[in-house]
Amino acid sequence: MLMSLGIDNRSVYAEDFEIPFLQQSAEFYRLESQKLLAENSASVYIRKVAARISEEAERAVHYLDKSTEERVVRVLEDELITKHIKTIVEMENSGVYHMLKFNKCDDLATMYKLFERVPNGHLTIADCMSSYLREQGRALVTENSDEGKNAISYVQVIKKIYDFT
């Protein structure tokens, strides 16, 4: 590396290598994210993103300056997670609604762990979960509106919501 070759001036490293490297990485992962989103479910996408970030961080440890490692990981988080967070969460037949509906706890845990890397990541998941639970609660109450006249039956219906969560 430029840094390990004894070039003490950090600006040479930054201008000649780091800035172009980060720009090219951003472009590569922008295209990669579009391809992965088009070809995969949310579950597969988040697993591939987690693997990509891990692989890139490992490469950075071995081949790049410490400061570049942090920056390249931020580029990946931005291009692969932040810019597509709403799309990932709302993916039809595989997003958070799907994961909740089919009790895909491992996928939700992976998404949660991945999204904690970016600002408001957890909030995005929480908003979607809240919406899903309200929707399910309304549906249960509507479906069992006749039972609403009987307090015991009504409480049992509401308990179904809590048993799910």
In a domain, 27, yes or no: yes
pLDDT at 138: 84
Domain count, the chain: 1
Whichever domain contains 24, its CATH number is 1.20.1310.10
| pTM tops 0.85, yes or no | no
Q: Has residue 31 been placed in a domain?
A: yes
Please report whether residue 127 resides in a domain: no
Residues 99, 107 contacting (CB under 8 angstroms): yes
> Mean pLDDT per segment of 10 residues, for the chain of length 165 residues?
55 86 97 97 98 96 90 97 97 94 94 96 95 86 67 73 66
Domain that holds residue 19: 1-88
40 assigned to some structural domain = yes
Q: What distances in angstroms separate CA 81 from CA 6, 131, 137, one per listed residue?
A: 36, 21, 30
| Model pLDDT, residue 139 | 82
pLDDT of residue 67: 87
Predicted pLDDT of residue 98:
96
Q: DSSP secondary structure string, 24-89?
A: HHHHHHHHHHHHHHHHS-HHHHHHHHHHHHHHHHHHHHHHS-HHHHHHHHHHHIIIIIGGGHHHHH
Q: Cα(45)–Cα(38) distance, rounded to whole angstroms?
A: 10
